[in-house]
Amino acid sequence: MTLFAFLLNYPWEFLQVPLFAGMPTMTHWDAVRFCTRAALGDVLIALVAFWSVAAVRRRAWIRCPDAPALFGFVAVGVAITIGLEWHATVLQDRWQYAELMPTLPLLGTGLAPLLQWLVLPPLLVWLVHRQMLGERWLMACGERAGAGSEVQE
């Protein structure tokens, strides 16, 4: 899951560069470092969201995700994102939104980070689910191949 989370969030971080003040004018490697740290932070958010759902349901919820589990996964990610964006922009002044960034009226949270946690988590769950189905299929084929070779010997 962590690899898929990183691979989905990393390009998103680069795509939203124009929406953050100062990002388009950063040196190349500073921007790469900033986006890499942000994507790694997104991986941590995804892990917290996964384990939050797992604490309520079971760890294997992602093998057969249903609507409540997916909703919980997305909701935890959205809540953390809203909190972190507020903390970073208001309390710590770690970054600011550019004029291009649409924000939520009451919270002031940027729309791009919020959409990130509405769009990417369902895709992440789908990818992980598909990977797990592939692993099960390969294991089943391996068991059949092993069983077949025993019969032939």
pTM: 0.83
pLDDT for 130 equals 87
pLDDT for 153 equals 42
pLDDT for 37 equals 95
Contact, 53 vs 69, CB < 8 A? yes
Q: What is the share, in percent, of the chain residues with pLDDT greater than 90?
A: 68
Contacting residues for 122 by C-beta, under 8 A, at least 6 apart? 70, 74
Contact, 42 vs 5, CB < 8 A? yes
If you average pLDDT over residues 85-91, what whole number do you get?
90
The rounded distance, in Å, linking the Cα atoms of 97 and 115 is: 15
Confidence grade of residue 107 (pLDDT, cut at 50, 70, 90): confident
- Residue carrying structure tokens 């972190």: 84
pLDDT for 147 equals 52
pLDDT for 132 equals 84
Q: Quick one: CA dihedral 26, 30, 36, 42, positive or negative?
A: negative
pLDDT for 142 equals 64
pLDDT(136) > 80: no
Phi, psi of 92 (to 5 degrees): -100, -15
